[in-house]
Structure 1
Amino acid sequence: MITFILNNKTIKTPEHSGMTLLDFVRYEQRLTGTKIGCREGDCGACTVLVGSLKNDTIEYQSITSCISPLGNAHGKHIVTVEGTNLKDKLTTAQEAMKANYATQCGFCTPGFVVALTGYALSNSENNYSNALDAISGNICRCTGYKAIEKAAHQVVEKLEHQNKNSINWLIKNEFIPEYFESIPKRLKDIEIKDLNQPKGKYVAGGTDLYVQQPDHLADNNVHLIAEKDYLKGITIDNKVCTIGTNATVSDLWNHSDLNTYFPNLKKHLKLVSSEQIRNMASLGGNLINASPIGDMTIFFLALNSNITIIDDNQKERTIALKNFYQGYKTYDLNEGELLKDISFKLPTKNSFFNFEKVCKRTHLDIASVNSAMHISIENKTISDAHVSIGGVAAIPKYLHETSKFLIGKPLTSETIHEANKILQKEISPISDVRGTSDYKRLLGRQLFYAHFTELFPKQFTLNDFVQHA
């Protein structure tokens, strides 16, 4: 029996675990403020909050309910826009939307209100930039986004100098209703047992699978693994980072040590997806999706990562990620096996990492071409190099020959130009909706050059490569 708290109501339901949370909320509970928009997690009309009990407190995150399995709500507090309402008055987020004339047709408004409420409940630093990140997965169809940004600014001003983790303060200042205060105890008091799951399709966050085959997952058995502890966690030991495949992109975003080793980590991850999707999407799902343009796959290929695979009998094996992919959407994974974790050596003071992506819009879009590079420099010589690129082959591509060529070469524009010639021989892009083959070759070259201009701006500018264009 799936058990959770929906707004202020305890739910126990025998509904199918693979049903989407959106459909349960709208059609079974008649909470129609949660809208149906794209059903692909892109528009944010279906945004809800998920509260998880950790150390006697609730941590809330926003998600898109249209691509989230109902079973993942088990043991959680789910908040729809109706669950944010106060009695006979507007909440702070609702008032901010009203005061700034930030509602036009009104279709997207509930999603924005929920996302801004989630921001108020979050652990993120109180500033305008983070507030905009919180609504990055919400789209206004009436192009009223500037007014909505003003509403977000008003919310930030109200939160200024306050401890946002204080539920009592948020209740007193009309961000959330009073019942929120009782949720930690109520979740504790609910006897949450592991779901009795039949064998079926493995599903973690669902952000890819529920775009591809939602009806199939809703009608057939699914095996939900998002809460499996042995697939969670981020550890650093002896300069090696190991990340459980259930870790989300937000887990990387919020990890202080990783942000120290990768100073531009948040800048890179902002290119990957919206905050709602970052809160849901598992790294294992991105890897197993095997998309030729999977952002996190390209990211980890350049880190020369290894993956650990575990079977039904808990037997493990480890292989290099660059050897995992065998062809389009095919990989070295046997029946009953799961990706357990991914590990890689962290950058040192002599090594540098960069991620680049080009798509039709800067954020919240699938890449036309993406690329990453991890390079080590000693005495102006390249001592190690790993380059990956997506969108130019049937698989997410680790550039074996290009990487090998760079090692031992001086860090000069001539070396980079010669390496690009090898890169062009290694890739085999096709023309599709994201660009022609020639366009993707051009992007491959420019992103490769961009790694060096970004990492070594005092040594290289794009002008150094113009003569070779």
Structure 2
Amino acid sequence: MLKFILNNQEVATDLPAGTVLLDFVRYHQHLPGTKIGCREGDCGACTVLVGELADTQVRYRSYTSCLTPLGNVQGKHVVTVEGINMEQLNPIQQAMVDESATQCGFCTPGFVVSLAGFCLSGQKPTTQNAIAAVDGNICRCTGYKSIERAAAKVAQLLAASEGEEPAVFVARHQILPEYFTSIKSRLRALAADSAPNGHVLSGALQFVGGGTDLYVQKHDQMKELAARFLLNQADLKGIVRQENRCVIGGAATVSDLAESGVMQEYFPDFRQFLRLVSSTPIRNMATVAGNFVNASPIGDLTIMFLALNAQLVLSDGHTAREIPLRQFYKGYKLLEKAPQENITAIWFELPAAATRFNFEKVSKRTHLDIASVNSACCLTIQDGFIVTAAVSAGGVGPIPMLLRKASEFVAGKEVSEELIQKALEIAQTEIAPISDARGTETYKRLLLNQLIKAHFLALFPQLNPSELVQ
């Protein structure tokens, strides 16, 4: 039996744990404000908030409910648009009305829920942060300037919130309902009353992390499929420093990476790189291990961690083993992994001060899109010489690739335009792109050249861009 709080009511269900949350709230709880749109996590019409205990606070994040299995909300607080309604329009809804930020209204509940999540997030109340909160919501009829103005008004509502617990502040100022202040204690009581891992089906070999790709590819099958839901397993979460290593739990999400103090300390630009990965709701759900196991040739996290020489810890529940990520892919969608194994942790050596890292991606649109070609570069520099090098690339072969020959060629050499040109020539001999919907073979070869140049221009500002000709 799955138990969680839905808006202001505790609910229990014996529906299959693979049932998507969207269908549960609409067809079983009769809450139609959460809309059915793309069912692929792109449009944001089905956005809900999911709150869970994190240390001493309730952390709320926006989720696309069309890709969220019930097994992933066990013991949590799920908020639909009905759960933020008040006797009159709440100030978030009123801002949308005042700025004419809605026309047909179909997608408006998703925007309102995402902005409610911003109000509960504890982020700095800036217009930029408010607009970023709706980066997973699409409106096809109103125009975004009016929505941006509404988001700016919401940010102004939070101007005096610094230092106060978000749920208390929004309740005290009647931005969101009073019941939010009781959720922390109610979740604690629910956790004490719930059997641990009650939603994990023994013997199941289908592992589910965030489900952001599985529920797109296998929507109908996932409902009844026996699965192990990993997102709530405490031993699979967290990002910590252990001596000279960064250790990442397999169920850590992309948002966890972006918010990690360890990652921010050693990779100041990493959060900006992650903004190129999908949208806020998907980053809130998608796990690092899931990105690796998905085995997409253009998986953004995979490309980043190939350059960082990440190591995977695999376990079948009895024994554990380690394997380099660089040896994990044997062919298109073929993994060096037994069916009963899952990735419990990922680790890599933290870089020295002389190490530089960069990520580049080209896609048809800047955000919420998959790459045509992406690439990462990690270099250790000393006295103008490249001591070690690792350049990875996606979209140029059947698997995510480490460009070994090009990486080995630049190691031990002084940075120059001539060196880069020769490295480009070597890289072209290592790849085998195909023409598809994301570009022709010729185009992808050109993109890889441009992305490698972009790495060097970003990491060595003294280089002359005009001299890095095709």
CA offset digits 1:362-397 (Å, max 9, x no partner):
111000000000001111111000010000000001
State whether structure 2 residue 417 is matched by structure 1 residue 418.
no
Which whole-Å CA distance do the structure 1 matches of 2:294 and 2:182 have between them?
40
For 1:384, the equivalent position in structure 2 comes to 388
Q: Bigger CA drift: 246-255 or 54-63?
A: 54-63
**Correspondences of 1:95-174 after superposition (within 5 Å):** 95-163=94-162, 165-174=165-174
Find the partner of 2:288 among 283, 292, 307.
283
Contact 2:122 2:166 (8 Å CA) reproduced: no
User: Displacement, 1:347?
Assistant: 2.3
Q: Structure 2 regions of 5+ residues with no counterpart? A: none
For 2:187, the equivalent position in structure 1 comes to 187
For 2:50, the equivalent position in structure 1 comes to 50
Which whole-Å CA distance do the structure 2 matches of 1:144 and 1:174 have between them?
28
Q: Specify the SS of the correspondent of 1:105.
A: coil
TM-score normalised according to structure 2 size: 0.97
Letter in 1 for 2:468: F
Letter in 2 for 1:8: N
User: Displacement, 1:178?
Assistant: 1.2
**Correspondences of 1:69-468 after superposition (within 5 Å):** 69-87=69-87, 89-163=88-162, 165-190=165-190, 191-194=193-196, 195-198=198-201, 199-200=203-204, 201-313=206-318, 315-457=319-461, 459-466=462-469
User: Displacement, 1:230?
Assistant: 2.0
Q: Bigger CA drift: 208-217 or 166-175?
A: 166-175
Which whole-Å CA distance do the structure 2 matches of 1:267 and 1:179 have between them?
35
Contact 2:52 2:187 (8 Å CA) reproduced: no
Which whole-Å CA distance do the structure 2 matches of 1:82 and 1:302 have between them?
45
Contact 2:199 2:229 (8 Å CA) reproduced: no
For 1:62, the equivalent position in structure 2 comes to 62
Q: Specify the SS of the correspondent of 1:341.
A: strand
Q: Bigger CA drift: 287-296 or 92-101?
A: 92-101
User: Displacement, 1:56?
Assistant: 4.3
CA offset digits 1:417-467 (Å, max 9, x no partner):
10111100000000000000000000000000000111111x21321212x
Q: Bigger CA drift: 159-168 or 182-191?
A: 159-168
Q: Specify the SS of the correspondent of 1:17.
A: coil
CA offset digits 1:117-165 (Å, max 9, x no partner):
0000003222122111110000001142110000000011111131363
Contact 2:25 2:31 (8 Å CA) reproduced: yes
Contact 1:133 1:274 (8 Å CA) reproduced: no
Contact 2:102 2:142 (8 Å CA) reproduced: no
Contact 2:237 2:249 (8 Å CA) reproduced: yes
For 1:40, the equivalent position in structure 2 comes to 40
Which whole-Å CA distance do the structure 1 matches of 2:257 and 2:122 have between them?
15
Structure 1 segments (4+ residues) deviating >6 Å: none
Which whole-Å CA distance do the structure 1 matches of 2:286 and 2:374 have between them?
19
Q: Structure 1 regions of 5+ residues with no counterpart? A: none
Letter in 2 for 1:25: V
TM-score normalised according to structure 1 size: 0.97
Letter in 2 for 1:162: S
User: Displacement, 1:59?
Assistant: 1.2
User: Displacement, 1:225?
Assistant: 1.0
User: Across the two proteins, how many residue pairs are aligned to each other?
Assistant: 464
Q: Specify the SS of the correspondent of 1:62.
A: strand
